[in-house]
Amino acid sequence: MLTFCFFSLAVIFFIIGVVQLLTPTRTAAQTAPGFTGGAPQPADRSVLTRSAPLNLANASPAAPAGKPGGGLQKLGWIGVGQRVYVSHPVQGERLAHVLGRILFSELWQRQRDPQSPWVPTGSQFAGFWLEGDLFLLNWQNRFYLLDEATELSDGEIQRDFLPHARKYAQSDQTADVYFAYPPAMWHIDDIGKFQIAEIQGNGLRYQVGGIGRFIHSSGDSQRALVVEDFEGSSGQDTARSGYQIEEGNIRKEE
């Protein structure tokens, strides 16, 4: 009888040992919140990638490397109704009323992919409509005083500018791309995309929220060409020509 009891206990202990051997041990990583198998997953995968378009009006991502970020960059002291001095390379210094102001929000893509959404960098640049049919524009460290404007069609954009802008973009904006457009030969300095953030005053044919692309080019004798290509009907596609000037050529009325 005693021998039978010892035999039964041995069988029970053997069965318990087999069960423990076959049951996997749960580690702290496996029981932690958010674990789905394999390596632990971040709580918010949006920090790695964005699979859905963002709302351009509300998105405020960190600026990419090399971008300044932080709102209006320059000429924040100029307001509608003021008078400012601007030095025209040909006509000399002029005193002009500021009739209108427009703020451009700079846009960029987190990934170089046609499906990647364009979102604001956080930087804004200003343009001013001055009496005498002058348009004063700042972008990055460049300042333009533009005194001629030509309305463009989509066909003209595609024929006269798009092939050159595409070539410049495919070089990662490092190639020296030249193209002819009356009345001069031009060198592409910069291309990009913007959204209209704010409009004040008169003389500016834009719509708040409108999105467009730009081409900034330079020619001989400080000549400059600024092309704006809008999406839909949010603005008039335009080629503006004039001159590139220095920030010191713009000053307050004494």
Each residue's pLDDT tens digit, 84-140: 999 999 999 999 999 999 999 999 998 878 888 999 999 999 999 999 999 999 999
Query: How much is the pLDDT for 41?
Result: 30
Distance CA 67, CA 106 (A): 10
Distance CA 212, CA 122 (A): 17
| Token duo for residue 228 | 């704006």
- Least confident interval from 34-38, 205-209, 227-231: 34-38
Which amino acid is residue 126, in one-letter code? A
CB contact at 8 A, 205 and 191: no
Query: How much is the pLDDT for 176?
Result: 97
Which amino acid is residue 65, in one-letter code? A
Q: In terms of C-beta distances under 8 Å and separation of at least 24 residues, what long-range contacts does 232-236 make, across chains too? A: 233/207, 234/196, 234/206, 234/207, 234/209, 234/210, 235/196, 235/205, 235/206, 235/207, 235/210, 236/151, 236/205
Over residues 19-46, mean pLDDT? 33
Where along the chain do its domains lie? 59-252
- Which residue do the tokens 């008039």 mark? 236
Residue 163: which residues within 8 A CB-CB, separation 6 or more? Answer: none
Evaluate the omega torsion of the peptide bond into residue 33 and state whether it is cis, within 30 degrees of 0: no
Q: How confident is the model at residue 70 (pLDDT cuts 50, 70, 90)?
A: low
Q: Which residues of 203-220 are buried (b: 16+ CB within 10 A; e: fewer)?
A: ebebeeebbbbbbbbbbe
